[in-house]
Structure 1
Amino acid sequence: MVPELGQIALTFSFALSLLLGTLPLYGSYTGNERALMLAKPLAIGAMVFAGIAFIALSYAFYYDDFTVINVASNSSSVLPWYYKLTATWGSHEGSMLLWVWILTIWTAAVAVFSKQLPLLMQGRILGIMGLIGVGFIAFSLFMSNPFERSLPYFPAEGNDLNPLLQDFGMIIHPPLLYMGYVGFAVSFAFAIAALLGGKFDSTWARWARPWTLAAWMFLTLGIMLGSWWAYKELGWGGWWFWDPVENASFMPWLVGTALIHTLAVTEKRGTYKSWTVLLALAAFSLSLLGAFLVRSGVLVSVHSFATDPSRGVFLLVFLLLVIGGALLLYALRMRSVRSESRYKLFSREVMLWGNNVFLLTATLVVFLGTLLPLFHQELGLGTISIGEPFFDAMFFYLAIPFSLLLGLGPWVRWKQQKWQTLIPPMSMVAIAALVVALGMMSLTQSIQANTALIGLLLGAWVGMSAIGEVGQRIHQFGQGLAGIRKLNASHYGMTTAHIGFAVMVVGIAMTTTYSVERDVRMQVGDSVTLSGYQFTLLDVYDLDGPNYGGEAADLRVERDGRLITNLHAEKRFYTIQRTVMTQAAIHARLSRDLYVSLGEALPGNAWSFKVQVKPFVRWIWLGGLLMALGSIWSLLDVRYRRKVVSRVRHNSAITKEAENA
């Protein structure tokens, strides 16, 4: 009965989304205020019913309702309760229902928290969000129904959850990632609504910017958590593999980063309007492309969902309709989005434009590196492989000019800056960056590693520049707390995000250069030394988990005769899915990780182990957290909660603006 309730609720959500996608847009063109006023309750209603549907599916998983095909295929009665709930979005059908619910949450959030928007603009935005919801709910209802039953015959036991997903990271990684993916639909809707109305100004950018920041924050956290999960769960010690599905989430993040910066230009200077609109369209389009790649079956990845071709065709058609329709509307309205502001060659506008160029070039590199092998094979030209060396080399060369501009940009004024005035402060920043970089290199007792030195210099340049620029501004505003309070939250958020990027660059450079690993054969009592750490195997014994067996190994780690830690590594065999998984043992510190993974049994009561020491790897995720914190800080800026003009004035102008549209 509960699955049927979920099916009915999802159907109601579809109907309300259909009304949301038609009535407010009708009202925006006819000046019908009643139709526009329906947008908010329709958005909230669609969210409520989608939430009921998701709760119903979660109920079926929690109580082992194996009459539901989705539950029988992705869960089991011996699975711990928290993984049963995780299994709700561990399949294609369940994850699409989560996607739908999150989309309706974003839509309702816009309806509730955008009271400062003109009613006409709000109606258009919610109408567009409703149309997007119609497409995804239709896909969930008709192409991948999560509530489909197998009555009267059903299995007595389920197939269990994919062992790769039986990890804490997978409990929160998909929701965060989807919040970012789907959140860019709001930026997309703002851009389309502005195109429909033909109005692009600083006020529009101020409305759109907090929603874009929120989506970017969630996507940043989702990507960082996915990286941490791969590092911990897959047992190979890597934090990024340039997997096609990893790339699918990385592309909208790159474009979203560019969009955040151009929104700042449009808000402050009223320029880059057309560029901002295109980036808003591109960010969500790449999110849709990611959904297609993951769910169409064209990619082979540990992250992708195995699906039938018909689902891929549906998503491809939907993708083409959304992107094609958006680009057609942009072409028709191109004249209305032209910018008239003027600025000199050496100005903050040009600095931000330069960083946009590098971000979009990086996006193009990832796009081609991910899709070119697919096109090459489909055209019958054979199989080619574009892997880690290609991406690493390209991003190394792109990171250098990008970081230099990122450090310089905050010091440059809008419209025009005399370069001579920046020589003293930037010289001080450069000297400080060099001192910090060489100081950190000396800790490794090596300054010959070019990659590490360049990475440290770039990270220190960006970090020292961000800190120095804030210090200078506070000094200009006044001494002590008075100067600190005069700098707005958005500026502190930008500084924190830039420092986060600097920390991440340092982590990548140091980990890539100085990580060491050894594959060793050990018996109980044997020791191996790596980077001054002595690893001693104490015991190997059998495991008996709730839905798995296997072996576990205990090791002692010492340095200079002093106990550092005891490590516990596992190799699990999941009995239902007949799958072997590695659970690495990790001892984490800010300056390094000790990483041990248990391999295969060898003759002579011995075992194979992979032992690694990974310097500064935690800085990668710390940098991501700081970037997300920067976006949260920016969202606290009072400008994004301040009403621009009274709602009454906007409502009285509905008919006139509808006629102009």
Structure 2
Amino acid sequence: MIPELGQLALTFALAFSIILGIVPLLGSFTANERALLVAKPLASAMFVFTLIAFCALSWAFYHDDFTVLNVANNSSSLLPWYFKLTAVWGSHEGSMLMWVMILALWTAAVGFYSKGLPLLMQGRILGVMGLINIGFIAFSLFMSNPFERTLPFFPVEGSDLNPLLQDYGMIIHPPLLYMGYVGFAVSFAFAIAALIGGKFDSTWARWARPWTLAAWLFLTLGIMLGSWWAYKELGWGGWWFWDPVENASFMPWLVGTALIHSLAVTEKRGTFKSWTVLLALGAFSLSLLGAFLVRSGVLVSVHSFAADPERGVFLLIFLLIVIGGSLLLYASRMHSVRSQARYEIFSREVMLWGNNVFLLTATLVVLLGTLFPLVHKELGLGSISIGEPFFNQMFYYLNIPFALLLGLGPWVRWKQQKAAPLLKPMALVAVFSLVVALGTMAATQSITANLALLGLLLGAWVGVSALMEVYQRLQQFGSLSQGVAKLQASHYGMTIAHIGFAVMIVGIAMTLTYSEERDVRMEIGDRVVLAGYEFELQDVYKLNGPNYGGEAAELDVRRIDGTYVTHLHAEKREYTIQRMMMTEAAIHARLSRDLYVSLGEALPGNAWAIRVYVKPFVRWIWLGGLLMSLGALIALLDKRYRRKSPNAEAAHA
């Protein structure tokens, strides 16, 4: 009965999305106020019914209703309750329903928080969101129905959740990632609504920017959590593999980062309008491309969902309609997005334009590296692989000019900047950066490590520049205390986000340079020395978990001088139902380094294969991501995003 209720609720949600996608848009063309006023109630109703559908599916998983095919294929009665709920979005059908619910949530949120928007703009934005909802709800209902029954014959036990997903990180990683993916639909809807009305100005950019920041915030957290999950769960000791599905989430993040900066220029100076619109269209289009790659079966990945070709065709058609339709609309309205503002070569506009160029170049590199092997194979030219060395090399070169511009940009004035006033502060930033980099290298006793030195220099350049710039700006208010109160929250957010990027650069460079690993054969009592640490295998014994067996290893870690450091517990699990082996790495984390051990296969002679890592500064990568997310959150608190412009209604009528 409950699954049928969910099916009915999803059907009602489709009906509301169809009305939302038609009535307000028609009302915007005919100036029908009553048609525009129904947009908010329709958006709220659509969200309520998608939420009911999602809760119904969650109920089926929680109560082991194996008459529902989705539950039978992706859960079992042996799962702990929290992993049963995780299994709701652990399948193609369930995750698509979560996508639909989150899209409806963003739509309702726009309706709820759009009191400062003109009624005409509200109707257009919510109407576009309704059209997007139609596509995804229809896909969920007709192509991947999460409530399909197994009746009259149903299993008494389920097939279990994929062991890769039985991790605490997966409880919140997919929802955060989808909040980011789907959130760019709001930026897309703002751009389409503005194209329809032909009105682009700083007010429009100020409306769109907080929604873009929110989506980027969630996507950043989702990517960081996914990286941490892969590092912890897969037992390989790495934090980013350039997997095609990882790349599918990274591309919208890169374009979204460019979009945030482009919106800042449009808001402040009324220029970069074409850039901003195309980036808004591109960010969501790449999110749709990611959904296609993950769910069509064209790419093989530990992150992807098994899906039949018909589903992939539906998504491909929807993707082409969205991209093609939006680009046609843009082409027909190009005259309305031309910028009139003028600026000199040495100005903040050019600094931000340069960074956007590098971000889009990085996106193109990732896109080509991801899709080229697929195209090469489909053309009958054989299988090729583009892996980590290619991406690392390309980003190595792109990061240098990007970081240099990022450090310089906040110091440069809008429209025009004289070089002379910046010579002294930038020289100080350069000196401080060099001192920090060389001091850190000396502390690690490796002055000749070029990659680490470069990473430290670039990270220090961005971080020191951000701190000194905000300090100088605070002094301009007369006193630091007055400046702290008067400086806008968005400026604090920008500073913290830039510092986060600097921290991440340092973490990546130091980890790639100084990480050490060894694959060893160990018997109980054996010891292995790595990077100044001694790992001693104390015991290996059988495991007996709720839905898995396996073996666990206990190790003691000491420094070379005999000082005790920690005790590590590593596991090799075999899941009972799926007969799948999984590694649960043992990690001792500190800000300066991780000690990482993964247990391998049993070897002849009562020995085991064990992999040992020492990974300096790896935590700085995720710390940098958290700081960037914190910066976005603080920027969202800026009061001007909650003000209504006095002439907004007239300007966008």
Q: What TM-score does the superposition give when structure 2 sets the normalisation length? A: 0.99
Residue in 1 that maps onto 2:571: 570
Q: Secondary structure at the match of 1:22?
A: helix
Residue in 2 that maps onto 1:131: 131
Q: How does 1:435-514 map to 2 (within 5 A)?
A: 435-514=435-514
Q: How does 1:76-87 map to 2 (within 5 A)?
A: 76-87=76-87
**Can you list the C-alpha shifts for 1:254-308, whole angstroms capped at 9, x where unaligned?**
0000000000000000000011000000000000000000000000000000100
CA separation in 2, counterparts of 1:274 and 1:601? 60
Shift of 1:485: 1.2
**Can you list the C-alpha shifts for 1:393-440, whole angstroms capped at 9, x where unaligned?**
000000000000000000000000001111100000000000111111
Shift of 1:484: 1.2
Q: Secondary structure at the match of 1:341?
A: coil
CA separation in 2, counterparts of 1:207 and 1:393? 38
Q: How does 1:154-193 map to 2 (within 5 A)?
A: 154-193=154-193
Partner amino acid, structure 1, of 2:398: L
Residue in 1 that maps onto 2:605: 604
Residue in 1 that maps onto 2:425: 425
Q: How does 1:55-204 map to 2 (within 5 A)?
A: 55-204=55-204
CA separation in 2, counterparts of 1:163 and 1:477? 57
CA separation in 2, counterparts of 1:11 and 1:478? 61
Shift of 1:645: 2.1
Shift of 1:643: 1.2
Partner amino acid, structure 1, of 2:461: W
Residue in 2 that maps onto 1:292: 292
CA separation in 1, counterparts of 2:37 and 2:183? 23
Answering whether residue 44 of structure 2 is matched by residue 44 of structure 1, we say: yes
Residue in 1 that maps onto 2:594: 593
Partner amino acid, structure 2, of 1:396: Y
Q: Which runs of structure 1 show a deviation greater than 6 angstroms over 4 or more consecutive aligned residues?
A: none
CA separation in 2, counterparts of 1:422 and 1:134? 53
Partner amino acid, structure 1, of 2:378: E
CA separation in 2, counterparts of 1:173 and 1:261? 26
Q: Secondary structure at the match of 1:145?
A: coil
**Can you list the C-alpha shifts for 1:164-198, whole angstroms capped at 9, x where unaligned?**
00001100000000000000000000000000000
**Can you list the C-alpha shifts for 1:104-153, whole angstroms capped at 9, x where unaligned?**
00000000011000000000000000000000000000000000001000
CA separation in 1, counterparts of 2:454 and 2:500? 17
CA separation in 2, counterparts of 1:203 and 1:276? 13
Q: Secondary structure at the match of 1:156?
A: coil
Q: Which moved more, 1:601-610 or 1:496-505?
A: 601-610
Residue in 2 that maps onto 1:406: 406
CA separation in 2, counterparts of 1:438 and 1:47? 55
Partner amino acid, structure 2, of 1:644: S
Residue in 2 that maps onto 1:525: 525
Q: How does 1:342-353 map to 2 (within 5 A)?
A: 342-353=342-353
Residue in 1 that maps onto 2:234: 234
Note the residue ranges of structure 2 that are not aligned, 5 or more in a row.
Answer: none
Partner amino acid, structure 2, of 1:190: F
Partner amino acid, structure 1, of 2:155: P
Shift of 1:476: 1.0
Residue in 1 that maps onto 2:215: 215
Residue in 1 that maps onto 2:366: 366
Shift of 1:479: 1.2
Q: Secondary structure at the match of 2:307?
A: coil
Residue in 2 that maps onto 1:338: 338
CA separation in 1, counterparts of 2:631 and 2:283? 20
**Can you list the C-alpha shifts for 1:372-412, whole angstroms capped at 9, x where unaligned?**
11011111111111110000000000000000000000000
CA separation in 2, counterparts of 1:524 and 1:41? 67
CA separation in 1, counterparts of 2:386 and 2:235? 23
Note the residue ranges of structure 1 that are not aligned, 5 or more in a row.
Answer: none
Residue in 1 that maps onto 2:624: 623
What's the RMSD between the two structures over aligned residues? 0.9
Answering whether residue 604 of structure 2 is matched by residue 582 of structure 1, we say: no
Q: Which moved more, 1:376-385 or 1:248-257?
A: 376-385
CA separation in 1, counterparts of 2:577 and 2:345? 64
Q: Secondary structure at the match of 2:352?
A: helix
Residue in 1 that maps onto 2:553: 553
Shift of 1:442: 1.4
CA separation in 1, counterparts of 2:563 and 2:383? 52
CA separation in 2, counterparts of 1:545 and 1:586? 20
Q: Secondary structure at the match of 2:635?
A: helix
CA separation in 1, counterparts of 2:98 and 2:84? 15
CA separation in 2, counterparts of 1:443 and 1:51? 54
CA separation in 2, counterparts of 1:610 and 1:439? 32
CA separation in 1, counterparts of 2:280 and 2:646? 25
Q: Secondary structure at the match of 1:477?
A: coil
CA separation in 2, counterparts of 1:604 and 1:452? 41
What is the total number of aligned residue pairs between the two structures?
652
CA separation in 2, counterparts of 1:195 and 1:368? 29
**Can you list the C-alpha shifts for 1:19-38, whole angstroms capped at 9, x where unaligned?**
10001001101111001000
Q: Which moved more, 1:376-385 or 1:409-418?
A: 376-385
Q: Secondary structure at the match of 2:476?
A: helix
Q: How does 1:383-398 map to 2 (within 5 A)?
A: 383-398=383-398
CA separation in 1, counterparts of 2:581 and 2:229? 17
Q: Which moved more, 1:477-486 or 1:34-43?
A: 477-486
CA separation in 2, counterparts of 1:646 and 1:29? 21
Q: How does 1:227-376 map to 2 (within 5 A)?
A: 227-376=227-376
CA separation in 2, counterparts of 1:245 and 1:19? 34
**Can you list the C-alpha shifts for 1:470-515, whole angstroms capped at 9, x where unaligned?**
0000011121311111110000000000000000000000000000
Shift of 1:646: 7.1
CA separation in 1, counterparts of 2:107 and 2:455? 41
CA separation in 1, counterparts of 2:536 and 2:386? 39
Shift of 1:326: 0.0
Q: Secondary structure at the match of 1:209?
A: helix
Partner amino acid, structure 2, of 1:564: V
Residue in 1 that maps onto 2:644: 643
**Can you list the C-alpha shifts for 1:606-655, whole angstroms capped at 9, x where unaligned?**
111000000000000000000000000000000000111278x55xx99x
Identity of matched residues, % = 78
Partner amino acid, structure 1, of 2:500: G
**Can you list the C-alpha shifts for 1:428-475, whole angstroms capped at 9, x where unaligned?**
000000011111111211111100000110000000000000000001
Q: What TM-score does the superposition give when structure 1 sets the normalisation length? A: 0.98
**Can you list the C-alpha shifts for 1:65-105, whole angstroms capped at 9, x where unaligned?**
00000000000000000000000000000000000000000
Shift of 1:315: 0.2
